[in-house]
Amino acid sequence: MTESLGKIYSARGRSSHPRPLVLGLIGFPVSHSLSPVLHHAALDAVGLAGEYHRYPVPPLPQGQALLVDLVNRVRAGELHGLNITIPHKQSMLAQVDRLTETAAAIQAVNTIYLEGNQIIGENTDAPGFAAALQRAFNQAGFFAPDRRSVIILGAGGSARAVVYALDRSGWQINLAARRPQQAIDLLNQVVQPHSREKHTTIGLNSKDIGSCLESRSQVNLIVNTTPLGMSPDIGSNPWPNEVPLPGNAFIFDLVYNPRETSLMMLARQSGLPVASGLGMLVEQAARSFERWTGLQAPLEVMYRAVEDLGN
């Protein structure tokens, strides 16, 4: 369906198509989301008529009926596609007819659309993160060595996509979590079987992270997947105060509000290259846009749209 929509819309253009695209975001809360800004900019750039709405859906079981209703509206063609964010990325697994290979491996869905008569569950977070990370490396002139080792802070839904992407890019993963079993389960479920033995789980505390840095002298990347440092709690920091950041690492914080988190400020003070989650937000949105429309996303337009908000 997505390919035919793209062909139809691109051929007829904004003014002549009788049915504008209706897209949106399911989550709770969603009032802070920049996704409408991204997708309206993308629609404008490619000349498609359409709208992108926020749909606040409370956590299950309270939000069950509303969640099912929105999925049924996609099935009926009333909605052309939806993004899914916290807390429904795993709740959506039970609502779709088929998962893509990536979504099945990660066991989380952030994008749905209709293909034929089936609701497809996709995960664009993983390729979005991989693309954003490479873009950030390039902009900073950072070159990760052949022996790549990363400490990932947190083992929640966002970490699943990050682990998936880095495992398949050959990184050795040290997954730091407050709940050890959650981290173990994540690795067992998401990483490729042949690479499982090279990855480790550690506690999200100064002792375990300090020991990891001592034993893994070539930690090149730190990725924060926790919400610590996110507005309004901007003073919090997921990195232990007692542990210096590794001297040759790139710091990638998935938080994008505020634009510079406590972790990023600490990294800059240590002379380390940093990036926020804004790039991942744009890159995953671009891939969702392409699934829905069949058109190439206007990536640089989308980047400028959110960057302009910070000026």
Q: Please give the positions annotated as active site.
A: 89
Cβ neighbours of residue 66 closer than 8 Å, sequence gap 6 or more: 55, 57, 58
Give the DSSP H or E segment for 103.
helix 101-106
Q: Do 211 and 184 meet the contact criterion of CB atoms below 8 Å apart?
A: no
Q: Residue 93 has what DSSP assignment?
A: G
Alpha-carbon dihedral sign for residues 202, 102, 280, 147: positive
Q: Is 287 exposed, middle or buried (0-12, 13-18, 19+ CB in 10 A)?
A: buried
Q: Facing residues of 26 across strands? A: 55, 84
Determine phi and psi for 229, rounding to 5 degrees: 100, -10
Phi-psi sector, 60: left (phi>0), alpha (psi -120 to 50), beta = beta
Q: Residue 281 has what DSSP assignment?
A: H
